[in-house]
Amino acid sequence: MARVAVAVRVFPSSVDVRLEDLVERIKSSLPPHYSLVKFGEVPIAFGYSALRLVVTMPEEIEGGTEELESILRSVDGVDEVEVEVVHRI
């Protein structure tokens, strides 16, 4: 079963959201067939930063990244999710 790496930008709901805590909530919300392999902070403006995540997932999941996007949007403190790129690994 092939896997894909998905680069995702996650925008927090406010500047007051601690990104470290947000990463932990995201990790705990991912099902076992998803893996958070890398994350980093991306400064946007005036103290507001987003997260850039790299998540691996099975290529065969129906709907592509829709399930991942839905999971990420449901995490407390997440305002918006933007898929940047998907690569087969």
User: What pLDDT sits at residue 62?
Assistant: 81
Asked if residue 72 lies in contact with residue 26, where contact means CB atoms within 8 angstroms, the answer is yes
Asked if residue 28 lies in contact with residue 76, where contact means CB atoms within 8 angstroms, the answer is no
pLDDT band of 23, cuts 50, 70, 90: very high
Nearest by Cα to 89 from 8, 18, 2:
2
Catalogue all structural domains in the chain, each as residue range(s) with its CATH number: 3-88 (3.30.70.60)
pLDDT, tens digit, 9 for 90 and up, residues 29-62? 999 999 999 999 999 998 899 999 999 999 988 8
Average pLDDT over residues 7-26: 96
* CA atoms of 36 and 47, how far apart (whole Å): 25
pLDDT band of 63, cuts 50, 70, 90: confident
